[in-house]
Structure 1
Amino acid sequence: MSPSVPPTMERPHFIGIGGAGMSGVAKLLAQRGALVAGSDSRESETAAALRALGVTVHIGHDAAQLAQDATAVVVSSAIRPENPELAAARERGVPVLHRSEALAALMEGTRPIAVAGTHGKTTTTSMLAVALSALGMEPSYVIGGDLDAPGSNARHGGGEVFVAEADESDRSFHRYAPEVAIVLNVELDHHANYASMEEIYDSFETFVGKVRPGGTLVVSADQPGAVELTSRVRDIGGLRIVTVGEAQGADLRVMKITPRGLTSEVTVLLDGRMLTFTVSVPGRHYALNAVAALAAGIAVGAPARNLASALAKYTGVQRRLQLKGEAAGVQVIDSYAHHPTEMAADLEAIRAAAEGGRVLVVFQPHLFSRTRELGAEMGGALALADASVVLDIYPAREDPVPGVTSALIIDAARAAGADVTAESDRDAVPGVVAGMAKQGDLVLTMGAGDVTDLGPRILARLGS
C-alpha cells in the first residue's frame, strides 16, 4: 500500500460515490492505490469513469454491498442516517468519515490551496489546477465539477501543491489547514445550516484561522462580505493577506476587463507593472476568479507572467457557462448558477456575448430553503433575460416546505416586468423552448439540479 494512502483509507466505501465532490476524493484514492468501492442511486458517466480506474461501483443502496474488509465508510452531508449501508457500518463499528475528513487526510504532506466562497469555487479551483499543470508543477487537485469529461474532477499529481474546493455549506471547510486560502466572496446562503450573516462570518473566520502559520489569505477587495471578513481577520498572527480586485488599494489590482465575445482580456497591476492576459470564458466574475487564482499561484511560487499565460489554458468546466451545442442558429449553454448573485452574473456575461440575439433561460430552482429565503431575488435576476421558463423546485436533500414553490420566483420576476412561463412538466420544456427560440438566440439551462439534462434534448428538438 502506498504511504500516501492513510490506513483508514486503504479499502474505503463511498455512499453516493457518483456525486461531484465524493467522486473526486474516490478517484484520487484510486489513483494513489487504494481499493475503492461505493454505491450510487443511478448509473452515470461518472460511475463509468470510476470503474475505468478499478473502482467497484454498485447501483442502489444495500447493506450487503459494504465489504467485510472495508476500512472506512465515507459520506457527505446529503446522506441520510437511515441509509442501509451507513446503518450497517455503524452496527459493525466501521469508521464513518465525512468527505471533508477524507480529503483533509489526503492533503497531509502537501502544500494545500483551499478555495472558498459562496460562489466561484469550482471555476477558481479549476483555473488553478489547469494553469499549475500547464507549468509542469504537477499539482494534485479535487474539484466540485468536471473540467472537460466525466471523471476529470480529480488527479493525483507528483508535485507538492494540492488544490481543493473548501465547502462552507456545512462548515466542513473547517477541517482543512491550507498554506493558501482563497475567499472569493461571503454571502448568506445554505439557509438550512446558517441563520444569519453573523454565523456566516464566524464560519469563514474559523476557516481563515486554520491557515498554516506564515500562510496566505487571498481575498476579494471588491465584494462587501469579503471586505468585512478581511477587517475581522487582520489581527491573526502570521497571516499574510493579499487583496485582489478592482478596488483602489487592492494588492493585486484589476485595471481593466475587456470582453471579447466568449473570452475576456484582463489587465492587472502587479508590483508596479501592468500584466495583461486572456481568460477563455466570458464574464467579469470569471475574470476576477482568474485574478484570485493568479495571486494564489504566485503565493506557492509560480512565476507571475508564466502563470498568467497558463491561465489561458483553462477553457471551462462542465456546467459553468458550458456551450452544449448549436442547432437552427440557436446556441444552448449550461449554467450551474442557483443563487441570485450567480444568476445575475452569468446572465450579464451571456448578454455581453449575445451579439444582438435574445437570451432565453430555463431555470430550475434548487432547494426549498434557498427558494424560501431568496425566491424574490431569483425572480429579480431572471428579469435580466428576455424570457424565462421556470421549472418546479429541485429538492436535492430536502423535504418539501409548505407554501414554498416556484411561484415565489415567478411572481417576483413578473413583478419586475419579466416574461416568464411556468412549466411543471420537464418533458414539455424542449418543445416550449423550440417554440420560443429564433435564429441568433442564446438559451441558458440554469440551476444546480438535473436541468442540465435538458440541454441535449432542447438541441435535438431545435434541430428536428
Structure 2
Amino acid sequence: MSAPPPRPTVPAAELSRPVLDRPHFIGIGGAGMSGIAKILTQRGARVQGSDARESATVTALRGLGATVHIGHDAAHLASGATAVVISSAIRADNPELVAATERGVPVVHRSDALAALMEAARPLAVAGTHGKTTTTSMLAVSLGALGLDPSYAIGGDLDEPGSNAHHGRGEIFVAEADESDRSFHKYAPEVAIVLNVELDHHANYASLEEIYESFETFADRVRPGGTLVVSSDHEGARELTRRVRASGSVRVRTYGEAADADVRILDVTAHGLTSETTVLLDGRELTFAVFVPGRHYAHNAVAALVAGTEMGLPADELTKALGTYTGVRRRLQLKGEANSVQVIDSYAHHPTEMSADLEAIRGGAADGRVLVLFQPHLFSRTQELATEMGAALALADASVVLDIYPAREDPIPGVSSALIIDAARAAGADVRHAPAGQEGAELVAGMARPGDLVLTMGAGDVTELGPEILARLPR
C-alpha cells in the first residue's frame, strides 16, 4: 500500500516569506498545526484559522494575536489570506479548503510550512514510532537551560497549553518529525534521531518494509556532514542502521544497552517517579538524573544527549541540563490526588508505549495497584494491534476500556474495543468495558483504593477524564 496521492500543495522549497505572511490554518488547534501557527505569529505573521471546538490551545493562540474561528465555513477564509495551511487530517471536501482552491489561494501542507521555518536554522529532527514528543521536549528544555534559546515545534505541551512551540533567537531548531503520513521526508536536519521503527499507521503503510523504506528516505535527508542517531536496542532500529550504514549515505551513531552501541547505557536505576542513568560516552562514564520514570524515558534522555553532542554541545553541560526536564503534558503527567489515589495521564496508544508506561509506573506504585482507563485510538490501529494492546493491558492490575476514538477515520466493520477486551482477558487481565468517558471515569473511580495509581491512557479525549475521576474519589 502506498501513501494516498497528496493534494496539490506548495513545496517547502518554493515557499517565500510572503506566502506565509497571512496564513489561514484549517484545524489550527491541533498539536502540529498550533505549533507552526504560534511560531509564525511570533515571527510577525498575521495568523488566522479555524478549529472544530474551543480549547485551551485555541485560547493561547488568541492570546498571541491569532484570529481563530470555531467550526469550518468558507466564510472564515478571509480575503487577503496568502496561504491555507492543512494537515493530512483535513478532508478534501472541507469547505475552507474548497474555497481556497476555487479562489486560487496557495495550499501548504503543515510539513512544508515547518520545513520552511527550519530552512535557515540548524535543524535537529526527532523521529520514531513512539517517544518523539518526550525526546523533542527533553532537547528543547535542556538547550533552553543552556541559554541557547532554541526554536522548537513539539507534538505536546511542555507545561501549559500553547507551550508546544517557540520562536527562539538561537540557531538550533528542534522539531518532532512525524512519519505517519511520510511528512518527515520534507525535512533536512543536521542531526536526526530515530528512536525505534515499528509497524504503525496502518492506513498509510501496508508492511514493515514500507516503514523501513520511509525511514531510509528520512535518513537520506540528513544534511551532508550530519549525523543519524539511532537506538541499538530496538530490532527495527537496528535493521535501519544496517541499511543506512550499507548505503554509506550518512554517518550513524548508535546508543543503547546493546554491547555494540556507540554510546552504551550501563545502568538505569528507578527512584520512584524519577530515574538515574549511567552511560559510557567516548570512553567516559557519565551519570545523570531525569525526573520522569522508567527505562523507556531514560533511553529517550540518552538519545537527546547523543544528539546534542553531535551538534557540538559539551556532554557534561548537557547531562546537567537534562536534569532540569520534569516532563511534558500527557506523558505520565500527574493530574492530582484524592483519597491517597494518584491519577496520572498517559498519551500511550501503541502497544509498545502502553507496556513501557505501565512498567515505568509500576515502580511508583509502592504497594498499591495500577488501574487503567484506556481509550483505543483509530480503527485501523485497533484492527491491526488489538492483540498486542490487550497483552499490554495485562500489565495493569485492572483496566476499563472505552470505545474507540476515531480521530480522522471512519468506522471499520467488525472493529471495536471488544477486540482488545477479548485479547486482554485471554492474557489473564481483569478488564471491563465502558462505552463512554463519564461511565468509564465512574467505574474506575469506584475500583480505586488508597495507595492505587490510576492511568488515563490514550491519544484521544480520555485525557479530559482525570479531573472527573478525582472528583468521584472520596475526600
TM-score category of the 2 structures, normalised to the smaller one? over 0.9
Q: CA deviation at 1:425?
A: 2.7
Task: Find the aligned partners of 1:244 and 1:425 in 2 and give their Cα distance.
Answer: 42
Task: Find the aligned partners of 1:54 and 1:240 in 2 and give their Cα distance.
Answer: 43
Task: Find the aligned partners of 2:249 and 2:430 in 1 and give their Cα distance.
Answer: 53
2:52 corresponding residue in structure 1: 41
- Does residue 85 (structure 1) correspond to residue 96 (structure 2)? The answer is yes
Q: Once the two structures are superposed, what CA deviation does each residue of 1:209-254 show, in whole Å capped at 9, x if it has no partner?
A: 0000100000001100000000001144462211000011211110
2:411 corresponding residue in structure 1: 400
1:146 corresponding residue in structure 2: 157
* Corresponding residue SS for 2:266: strand
Q: Which amino acid aligns with 2:430?
A: D
2:279 corresponding residue in structure 1: 268
Q: CA deviation at 1:347?
A: 0.3
Q: CA deviation at 1:360?
A: 0.2
Task: Find the aligned partners of 2:17 and 2:377 in 1 and give their Cα distance.
Answer: 36
Q: Are the aligned partners of 2:191 and 2:307 in contact in 1 as well (CA < 8 Å)?
A: yes
Q: Which amino acid aligns with 1:276?
A: T
Q: CA deviation at 1:297?
A: 0.7
- Does residue 195 (structure 1) correspond to residue 206 (structure 2)? The answer is yes
- Does residue 296 (structure 1) correspond to residue 324 (structure 2)? The answer is no
1:453 corresponding residue in structure 2: 464
Q: Which amino acid aligns with 1:290?
A: A
1:425 corresponding residue in structure 2: 436
Task: Find the aligned partners of 1:343 and 1:230 in 2 and give their Cα distance.
Answer: 25
Q: Which amino acid aligns with 1:442?
A: L
Q: Which amino acid aligns with 2:313?
A: A
1:76 corresponding residue in structure 2: 87
Task: Find the aligned partners of 1:425 and 1:157 in 2 and give their Cα distance.
Answer: 41
1:134 corresponding residue in structure 2: 145
1:224 corresponding residue in structure 2: 235
For structure 1, the residue ranges without an aligned partner over 5 or more in a row are: none
Task: Find the aligned partners of 1:403 and 1:69 in 2 and give their Cα distance.
Answer: 47
For structure 2, the residue ranges without an aligned partner over 5 or more in a row are: 1-14
107, 111, 116: which is aligned to 1:105? 116
Task: Find the aligned partners of 1:249 and 1:422 in 2 and give their Cα distance.
Answer: 45
313, 317, 323: which is aligned to 2:328? 317
- Does residue 117 (structure 1) correspond to residue 125 (structure 2)? The answer is no
Q: How does 1:248-287 map to 2 (within 5 A)?
A: 248-287=259-298
Task: Find the aligned partners of 1:126 and 1:5 in 2 and give their Cα distance.
Answer: 29
2:391 corresponding residue in structure 1: 380
1:209 corresponding residue in structure 2: 220
Q: CA deviation at 1:429?
A: 2.0
Q: Are the aligned partners of 1:354 and 1:442 in contact in 2 as well (CA < 8 Å)?
A: yes
- Does residue 240 (structure 1) correspond to residue 285 (structure 2)? The answer is no
1:162 corresponding residue in structure 2: 173
- Does residue 12 (structure 1) correspond to residue 6 (structure 2)? The answer is no
Q: Once the two structures are superposed, what CA deviation does each residue of 1:71-92 show, in whole Å capped at 9, x if it has no partner?
A: 1000111111111000000000
Task: Find the aligned partners of 1:55 and 1:255 in 2 and give their Cα distance.
Answer: 48
Q: Which amino acid aligns with 1:259?
A: A
334, 337, 353: which is aligned to 2:348? 337
365, 371, 374: which is aligned to 1:354? 365
* Corresponding residue SS for 2:391: helix
Q: Are the aligned partners of 2:288 and 2:323 in contact in 1 as well (CA < 8 Å)?
A: yes
Task: Find the aligned partners of 1:453 and 1:5 in 2 and give their Cα distance.
Answer: 39
Q: Are the aligned partners of 2:438 and 2:468 in contact in 1 as well (CA < 8 Å)?
A: no
**More displaced, 233-242 or 47-56?**
233-242
1:411 corresponding residue in structure 2: 422
Query: TM-score if structure 2 supplies the norm length?
Result: 0.96
Q: Once the two structures are superposed, what CA deviation does each residue of 1:150-189 show, in whole Å capped at 9, x if it has no partner?
A: 0000001111100000000000000000000100000000
Q: Are the aligned partners of 1:358 and 1:442 in contact in 2 as well (CA < 8 Å)?
A: yes
Q: Once the two structures are superposed, what CA deviation does each residue of 1:431-459 show, in whole Å capped at 9, x if it has no partner?
A: 21221000000000000000001001100
- Does residue 184 (structure 1) correspond to residue 184 (structure 2)? The answer is no
Q: Are the aligned partners of 1:5 and 1:34 in contact in 2 as well (CA < 8 Å)?
A: no
Q: Are the aligned partners of 2:269 and 2:277 in contact in 1 as well (CA < 8 Å)?
A: yes
CA RMSD of aligned residues (A): 1.0
Q: Are the aligned partners of 1:5 and 1:29 in contact in 2 as well (CA < 8 Å)?
A: no
Task: Find the aligned partners of 1:256 and 1:436 in 2 and give their Cα distance.
Answer: 36
Query: TM-score if structure 1 supplies the norm length?
Result: 0.98
Task: Find the aligned partners of 2:393 and 2:17 in 1 and give their Cα distance.
Answer: 47
**More displaced, 416-425 or 283-292?**
416-425
* Corresponding residue SS for 2:363: helix
Q: Are the aligned partners of 1:387 and 1:420 in contact in 2 as well (CA < 8 Å)?
A: yes
Runs of at least 4 residues off by over 4 Å: none
Identity %: 75
Task: Find the aligned partners of 1:463 and 1:189 in 2 and give their Cα distance.
Answer: 40
